[in-house]
Amino acid sequence: MQIVVRVPASSANLGPGFDCMGMALDWFDDVTLTTQPAGIDVDVTGEGAEDVPRDASHLIVSTFLTGLESLGVTPPRGLRLTAHNSIPHGRGLGSSSAAITAGLLLAWAYAHPASQPDRKWMERIGTRLEGHADNVAAVILGGLAIAWGTADAGRAISAPLSGDLRALAYIPHRAVPTRRAREALPAQVSHADATANTGRAALLVHALAQRPDLLLDATEDWLHQRYRAELMPESAALVAQLRAGGHAAIISGAGPTVIVLGTEEMLDELARTPFKGFDRRLLHVGGPAHIVSISEN
């Protein structure tokens, strides 16, 4: 059997939506799994190819095996994974969530090749593996995802987006490990900061759907970006510069990529503006992870 899947990048938090909001972007990794008589072979090209393992510990392979175990399906005797990575690693663009989602999608397609993927199952297992649902939900559902936790699982829904919404990404040349970005956060924040963030997160849902002119106010954050600034000073300075110019700039996920949200008209001039130390890319909202094809070897 050969299974081909495609998974999008994503931007989590979107300013005030810390650990509960994420958006898929039209920037994709392509993954092929082929069964074989024995052994595990991993062939990776593109972003991070020199850093990822080439055995069963590869995140897509380990997630594939975990997914099959959850589904009660015996894994193939051997497999070959071929991945072409386009999504940058360690830049806050959801590369690990894309890998986890790819593994789960491959597992579902292997176990149930004639059925549409059970995305609620994918959300449940993906959240357990990732630790929080914002990126994973966006990759699984596409578009804008709002995630929340329950007593026994993470849940998520798709939310409406303005059809002309774009994301202008400024990607720095160096990575920041997500673990370090997490460690920079305080254990507690003030009631005033939590209240302010709640109001802006609520406004952000409306701004993304109907009022992009409100995105500058709607993307203001008090919970995470200021605490991570020392880890990514160039990105923090760029966010401050862009916001002072009236642009809805945020740190994407755990950083250090900077995302500016707006319509194509709002971002047109800025999209032609370079900043030293950053690559730039104008992105559309991405669709969900999907199975491209399933065939016999």
Q: Is 95 annotated as a binding residue?
A: yes
Q: Is 132 annotated as a binding residue?
A: no
With both helix axes pointing from N to C terminus, report the angle between 95-111 and 134-141 in degrees, rounded to the nearest 10: 50
User: Average pLDDT in the 251-276 region?
Assistant: 96
Q: Is 112 annotated as a binding residue?
A: no
Looking at residue 186, its pLDDT comes to 93
Q: Is 90 annotated as a binding residue?
A: yes
* 66 class by beta-carbon count within 10 Å (0-12 exposed, 13-18 middle, 19+ buried): middle
Please give the domain boundaries of the chain with CATH numbers for all domains: 2-159+286-295 (3.30.230.10), 165-284 (3.30.70.890)
Q: Is 154 annotated as a binding residue?
A: no
Q: Is 284 annotated as a binding residue?
A: no
Q: Is 93 annotated as a binding residue?
A: yes
For 53-110, write each residue's pLDDT tens digit.
999 999 999 999 999 999 999 999 999 999 999 999 999 999 999 999 999 999 999 9
Classify 154 in phi/psi space as left (phi over 0), alpha (psi -120 to 50) or beta.
Answer: beta
Which residues partner with 283 through β-bridges? Answer: 167
Q: Is 97 annotated as a binding residue?
A: yes
At 152, is the pLDDT very low, low, confident or very high (cuts 50, 70, 90)? low
Q: Which pTM was predicted?
A: 0.95
Alpha-carbon separation of residue 43 from 49, 218, 231, 268 (angstroms):
9, 42, 32, 38
For 107-137, write each residue's pLDDT tens digit.
999 999 999 999 999 999 999 998 888 889 9
